Structure 1
Amino acid sequence: MDIGDKAAFISGYTRILTQAWSSEEFSQRLESDPRAVLAENGLVTAPGTRVEIIRSRDADPDLDTQVHLWDNGRLTGRYVLYVPHIPQVDTRELDDDELGDLAGGVSGYCCTPCCCQSV
């Protein structure tokens, strides 16, 4: 898959994910007529191939794996697309270093010089 095809796939896949997570009607259409829904979002499959939509959250691949699986569909005739029912959110607690990274590595005062510092 060249870079243009990869970008087009990621764009279409992202649209499908966000619509599936925000619209029950879209999710139902995706499951009942995946080939048409995919084509509407720029993911056209070859005639005579199989399309498998996997909704299980347990089997989510990372984006690179999903790109590879989709590209492999051109060779095998079996397109696989992971579209979990809800997005997986990492709910673990952050350690001090990770919190510092979120703050941009800034600690102490909110600005320099800060009006809240006494002179």
Structure 2
Amino acid sequence: MDPRAKATFISAYTRVLSQAWSSDEFTERLAREPRVVLGENGLDTPADAEVEIIRSRDADPDLEAQITLWGNGFSSGRYVLYVPDMPQIDTRELSEEDLDAVAGGADTCCCCCPCSSCS
């Protein structure tokens, strides 16, 4: 895939992921009519191509692998797009111990500038 096509794919793929993660209606429509929905988002496929949407996978997302997989569709006629479930964000609060470990002390002297904090 040439750099321009790659950039176009990444932009469209990002748009699809964002919508899939924020709208159940979009996700359901993507499952029902993948070729139409992908085309509306900049991922056009030939009318006779097979389009498969894979909703989840065990491995971490790998953008380069997805680009290669999509690019293979141009020669094979089979386009595969991974649309993993929305990533879970750890929202637990940091403990005092965690905060102390991040703070690392109050010494802010870097000794690399002519500021007055070093004296």
Q: Deviations over 1:59-78 (max 9, x none)?
A: 55400000000000011110
Distance 1:19 1:68 in 2: 22
Per the alignment, residue 96 of structure 2 pairs with: none
Distance 1:74 1:43 in 2: 12
Equivalences for 1:3-82 in 2 at 5 Å? 3-82=3-82
Give the TM-score normalised by structure 2. Answer: 0.74
1:49/1:110 CA distance change after superposition, 3 Å: farther
1:88/1:2 CA distance change after superposition, 3 Å: farther
Other structure's SS at 1:20 match: helix
1:88/1:53 CA distance change after superposition, 3 Å: farther
Distance 1:40 1:16 in 2: 10
Query: Number of paired residues?
Result: 104
The CA deviation at 1:49 is 0.6
> Which runs of 5 or more residues in structure 1 are unaligned?
91-98
Distance 1:62 1:53 in 2: 16
Let me know the Cα RMSD of the aligned residues. Answer: 3.1
The CA deviation at 1:87 is 2.2
1:61/1:11 CA distance change after superposition, 3 Å: same
Q: Which structure has the larger Rg?
A: 2
Distance 1:79 1:56 in 2: 16
1:108 aligns with 2:107: yes
1:60–1:82 contact (8 Å) kept in structure 2 = no
Equivalences for 1:81-92 in 2 at 5 Å? 81-87=81-87
Per the alignment, residue 96 of structure 1 pairs with: none
Give the TM-score normalised by structure 1. Answer: 0.74
Distance 2:85 2:16 in 1: 12
1:50/1:88 CA distance change after superposition, 3 Å: farther
How many percent identity over aligned positions?
59
Runs of 4+, deviation exceeding 3 Å: 110-114
Q: 2:56 is aligned with what amino acid?
A: S
